[in-house]
Chain A
Amino acid sequence: MSRTLSGVGATPRRGVGTVVWVDRESEDAEDADDADDADDTDRSNDTAYHERTAESSAVDHHERASESPAAEVDRFEAATEAAVAELDVERERTAERVGESEAEVFDAHKQFLLDPTIESSVEEAIEAGKSAETAVWDAFAGPIEQFEGMDGMMAERADDLRDVRDRLLRILSGADRRDLSALADGTVVLADRLTPSDTAQLDPEAIAGVVTAKGGRTSHAAIIARSLGIPAVVGVGAGLFEVDVGVTVAVDGESGRIVIDPDAETIETYSEDTAAAAIHDAVETADGTSIEVAANLGSPTEAAPAIDAGADGVGLFRTEFLFLDRGEPPTEDEQYEAYHEVCAAFADRCAAAGGHVVVRTADIGGDKPIDYLGLDPIENGFLGARGIRLSLEEHAGLFETQLRALCRVAGSAVGEHLAVMFPLVSTVEELDAAIDRVHEIVAELNAEGVDAAVPELGVMIETPASVMLADAFADRVDFLSIGTNDLTQYVLAAQRDLDRMDDYHDPLAPAVIRAIDQTVQASGDAWVSMCGEMAGDPALTALLVGLGIDELSMSAVTIPDVKRAVRDIDRTEAEALAADVVACETRADVRSAIGLE
């Protein structure tokens, strides 16, 4: 019977393999000063790579009497020297195998190790009769606690301090360094947490995945796993300790899930190495047309994996996540933080690749019910009041709050590449009203003395009406964004969530292809983006470039393949292909023109 555990995806790749444990014990035992408790909770004898954890070493040595203060100081100094030597070696190896910037964490470790405050506090404790081990343990305890109490990146310094402390304790205990460089092929490494040096030893060819109970996706270990391309899920929690050695585990670093004892079908799916190497540069066709390849995001946490996958920007940042699963709408500041976070994450990429961060205002209604708004499945369904229709009428207050947050981000240091678009617009009046609201809100904010700016503005092309009015829309906004999922539903009048209608949900239906073509033809000076599933299919990239789409936006995982496809395209040939496809009258003809059958 398979089970699933969820954490945070650190490397957006998948793998399946056999569990080997490193450090099965939780460091929660840190709080337990009692040596007996520590022994009772030790259930790690069955782990292949178990090493005594730092706290049990410290506890053991607590009872070890100090030889003499002078001898203990000598032991501490020798251990420090040995630790520096190890760090130098690991720094070199990591620089070689992973990269210079990942190696620099060892410089930080070295400076923590050599910190005069630590040194003097260890020496004082030794003078007071403590063993070197106890003195080291105590000297680090205060700083670790202090950093843990701080936010974000500072909290991760606590991990650095633990690594340094544990290294010293291990050297003092005379144990060898943990060697993870020669694990068997197809190993999934499970750990409470991994140190950067543990992670840097892992062989990407052999290791099928890494899963940790603790740690975030910005921990050094996660960053190194990502650089090595090892599928990784971090922060799974204590449930991980229930997974035994030798068990088969499938690791999905995209969704952040692991499947324990997966069935045959899952094993097959996870075994396919779907991840292609990311291309971090902007790409152009073989004959020099730049195509922006961007990511669709559902929340700020998806920004980092998208950047890792080589996204030039964000073509669709869905904001509904802010509104769902809660009892009341999000505040302006909460929204500001979320939009600012994504803009900040992409600032460098957008500047280098000419990309944007396109935020769609809340597309509520349709298939996205929100309890506290009291929406009705029919009244606010696919053909009812949803998207911009709600934003301009009964939920104008939500719209205003969201626009205030967005315009403030546009006026911030990272706001240059922000773009905002409106969903489900079907009339020019709606678009004019929405644009007016943005300008009014910027004026209000400025009058309040708040920094704000009008971002680039765009409109979703999702309805037949918007296709027919694309020229009028293009005169009013900076860009058009074709949402192929809804466009297919509305062009073919076939509701998305009805099984009976599945066969109609084909963006390669001639009517949809022609709607896309008409939109591009009518777009004038506005740039045209596509953000539906269709945009992420590398088999269709040539067709879309030939149709004249400027930006393709998709799930991060397909970005490398689509970027590769762009580089192979000859623009003239792609345009000829698009002309052939636009002329097709049946789905079968479209498929055969593209060469899909």
Chain B
Amino acid sequence: MERVVTVVPEDGLHARPAATFVETAGTYDATVTVAPADGSRSAVAADSMLAVTGLGVKGGEEVVLTAEGSDAEAALDALEAILSTTVEE
């Protein structure tokens, strides 16, 4: 299962949104990966803070989320919601 999502938080997939993203990804049974939609980097495990932060995804960029497992759809819904939420500075 795959979904393309635009990263809304201005700072991108960094400290705060990244922490919430990674933590949430870890709560599902599904194996989730994330990659920049432009194909510049290969997909990484969504439950690894190092890997997710290391992608250097910026605000406004698109990412491809993939999920495999029984709750894949729910995982994608939850992660999409996080990436679509503006962060209050």
Contact = CB atoms under 8 A, between A and B. Distances in A.
A105 interface: yes
B45 A157 contact: no
A2 interface: no
A104 interface: yes
Contacts of A110: 19, 23
Interface in A101-115: 101, 104-105, 107-108, 110-112, 114-115
A105 B15 CA distance: 7
Interface string B46-58: 0111110110100
Contacts of A115: 48-51
A154 interface: yes
Contacts of B51: 115, 117
Contact of B15 (A108, A117, A143): A108
A513 to B, nearest CB: 41
A153 B11 CA distance: 9
A110 B49 CA distance: 9
Contact of B23 (A105, A107, A143, A146): A107
A157 B51 CA distance: 12
B77 to A, nearest CB: 21
Interface string B18-39: 1110110010000000000000
B18 A118 contact: no
B34 to A, nearest CB: 14
A504 interface: no
A104 B89 contact: no
Contacts of A348: 89
Given A154-B56, A348-B89, A104 B15 contact: yes
Contacts of B26: 114
B50 A108 contact: no
A114 B25 CA distance: 13
B3 interface: no
B16 A116 contact: no
B1 to A, nearest CB: 21
Interface string A73-113: 00000000000000000000000000001001101101110
**Chain B, interface size: which category?**
20 to 34
Contacts of B20: 107
B50 A118 contact: yes
A114 B49 CA distance: 8
A108 B47 contact: no
Contact of A108 (B19, B45, B54, B56): B19
Interface residues of A, number: 22
Q: Which DSSP category, helix, strand, loop or mixed, fits chain B's interface?
A: helix
A157 B50 CA distance: 9
Contacts of A153: 11, 14
B50 A143 contact: yes
A252 interface: no
A348 B45 CA distance: 34
A490 interface: no
Contact of B19 (A107, A117, A146, A147): A107
A115 B16 CA distance: 15
Given A117-B50, A150-B56, A157 B15 contact: yes
A592 to B, nearest CB: 46
B71 to A, nearest CB: 19
Given A116-B45, A143-B50, A101 B18 contact: no
A160 interface: yes
A266 B53 CA distance: 45
Contacts of A117: 45, 48, 50-51
Interface in A178-211: none
Nearest to B14: A153
B29 to A, nearest CB: 15
A157 B23 contact: no
Contacts of A147: 53-54
B45 to A, nearest CB: 7
Contacts of A146: 54
Contacts of B89: 101, 348
A143 B48 CA distance: 12
A116 B47 contact: yes
A111 B11 contact: no
Contacts of B56: 150, 154
A104 B19 contact: yes
B37 to A, nearest CB: 19
A157 to B, nearest CB: 6
A104 B16 CA distance: 6
A153 B14 CA distance: 8
B18 to A, nearest CB: 7
Interface of A: 101, 104-105, 107-108, 110-112, 114-118, 143, 146-147, 150, 153-154, 157, 160, 348
21 contacts: A101-B89, A107-B16, A107-B19, A107-B23, A108-B15, A110-B19, A110-B23, A111-B49, A112-B50, A114-B26, A115-B48, A116-B47, A117-B45, A117-B50, A117-B51, A143-B50, A150-B56, A153-B14, A157-B14, A157-B15, A157-B53
Interface of B: 11, 14-16, 18-20, 22-23, 26, 45, 47-51, 53-54, 56, 88-89
A-B residue pairs, 3 tightest by C-beta? A111-B49, A107-B19, A108-B15
Given A110-B23, A116-B48, 18 more contacts: A104-B16, A107-B19, A108-B16, A108-B18, A108-B19, A111-B18, A111-B19, A111-B22, A111-B49, A112-B50, A116-B47, A147-B53, A147-B54, A153-B11, A153-B14, A154-B56, A157-B53, A348-B89
